């Protein structure tokens, strides 16, 4: 009986790891939509997928914003000039930033499954935009794509 249970658990874990996808987001000084961007800026994934934030140019990082992520979600903070890989474990919308370039609007969006917390995120956009010196409409544009 115990052997069957163990076999079932292993088979389930193997099936989950086979179906999980891997995604890459580039951190760039200049991208197709302007300066200081993540590409893609809006990424839709499944819960269980892994996202790797890869510095294409020097001086960037990727850091989740806890107040603009699903409740209880595990956050991340990548080092400057270092790739960071994150397995998305909670459904919802995650807003993340490049800490050195936040004032320039270097932000991005990951949507895992359904955008269950989009209303809460939208309510925080005006306060976030006050912290930006440029690209103030960028987050609103990204969130429109996330819905």
What per-residue confidence (pLDDT) applies to 60? 98
Cis amide leading into 33 (omega within 30):
no
Q: Which domains does the chain have, with CATH numbers?
A: 21-146 (2.60.40.420)
Residue 117 clears pLDDT 70, i.e. is over it: yes
Span 94-99, average pLDDT: 98
What per-residue confidence (pLDDT) applies to 73? 97
Q: Which helix (H) or strand (E) holds 15?
A: helix 2-19
Q: pTM (2 decimals)?
A: 0.86
What tokens appear for 80 in the block? 């400057």
To which residue do tokens 């760039």 refer? 28
pLDDT tens-place string over residues 13-41: 544 455 899 999 999 999 999 999 999 99
Residue 104 clears pLDDT 70, i.e. is over it: yes
Phi, psi of 103 (to 5 degrees): -60, -25
What confidence category does residue 125 fall into, taking pLDDT thresholds of 50, 70 and 90? very high
What per-residue confidence (pLDDT) applies to 6? 43
What confidence category does residue 116 fall into, taking pLDDT thresholds of 50, 70 and 90? very high
How much is the mean pLDDT over the chain? 91
Rounded Cα distance between 46 and 21, Å, is 8
Rounded Cα distance between 145 and 147, Å, is 6
What per-residue confidence (pLDDT) applies to 19? 80
pLDDT tens-place string over residues 49-84: 999 999 999 999 999 999 999 999 999 999 999 999
Span 122-131, average pLDDT: 95
Rounded Cα distance between 48 and 112, Å, is 9
Q: What is the DSSP letter of 58?
A: T
Rounded Cα distance between 113 and 37, Å, is 23
Residue 7 clears pLDDT 80, i.e. is over it: no
Closest CA to 57 of 32, 86, 40, 37: 37
The residue count for the chain: 147
Burial 36-54 (b: 16+ CB within 10 A, else e): bbbebbbbebeeebebebb
């Amino acid at each position: 009986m115990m052997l069957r249970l163990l076999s079932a658990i292993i088979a389930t874990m193997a099936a989950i790891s086979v179906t999980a996808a891997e995604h890459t987001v580039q951190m760039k000084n200049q991208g197709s939509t302007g300066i200081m961007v993540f590409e893609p800026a809006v990424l839709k994934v499944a819960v269980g997928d892994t996202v790797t934030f890869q510095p294409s140019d020097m001086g960037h990082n990727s850091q989740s914003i806890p107040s603009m992520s699903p409740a209880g979600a595990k956050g991340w903070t990548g080092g400057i000039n270092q790739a960071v890989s994150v397995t998305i474990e909670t459904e919802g919308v995650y807003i993340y930033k490049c800490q050195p370039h936040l004032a320039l609007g270097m932000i991005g969006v990951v949507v895992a499954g359904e955008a269950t917390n989009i209303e809460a995120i939208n309510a925080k956009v005006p306060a976030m935009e006050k912290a930006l010196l440029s690209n103030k409409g960028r987050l609103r544009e990204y969130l429109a794509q996330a819905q």
